[in-house]
Amino acid sequence: MIIKKDMVIQVKSSRKGNYKAIALRDFDTEKDEWYPVALSEAKAIVGMNRNNLWIAGDEVPCRRGMCIIELITPPLTDNN
């Protein structure tokens, strides 16, 4: 799936739980190993290592195979 910059997505991470994020640049979930996303919620998330903490606006490591991405922002079409 192609994700465009500034799309809002739901991330289901095996290590960080579920969170909403914003795409920092375009990426392809089928080809790219790492997804460039930043936490968009006003909550903190913690990784498996309790010293890893991310807050709103922080870029969060998001890796294919460990995270499932779902679109929240519908993709734009020529009709919009």
Domain boundaries in the chain? Answer: 2-71
- The answer to whether the beta carbons of residues 9 and 72 sit under 8 Å apart is yes
Q: Select from 79, 27, 19 the least CA-distant residue to 44.
A: 19
Give the phi and the psi of residue 22 in degrees, each rounded to 5: -120, 140
Indicate the pTM of the whole model: 0.83
pLDDT one-digit tens code per residue, 5-50: 999 999 999 999 999 999 999 999 999 999 999 999 888 999 888 8
Confidence (pLDDT) at 43: 86
Confidence (pLDDT) at 50: 84
Going by pLDDT thresholds of 50, 70 and 90, the confidence category of residue 76 is: low
Question: In the predicted model, is pLDDT for residue 71 greater than 70?
Answer: yes
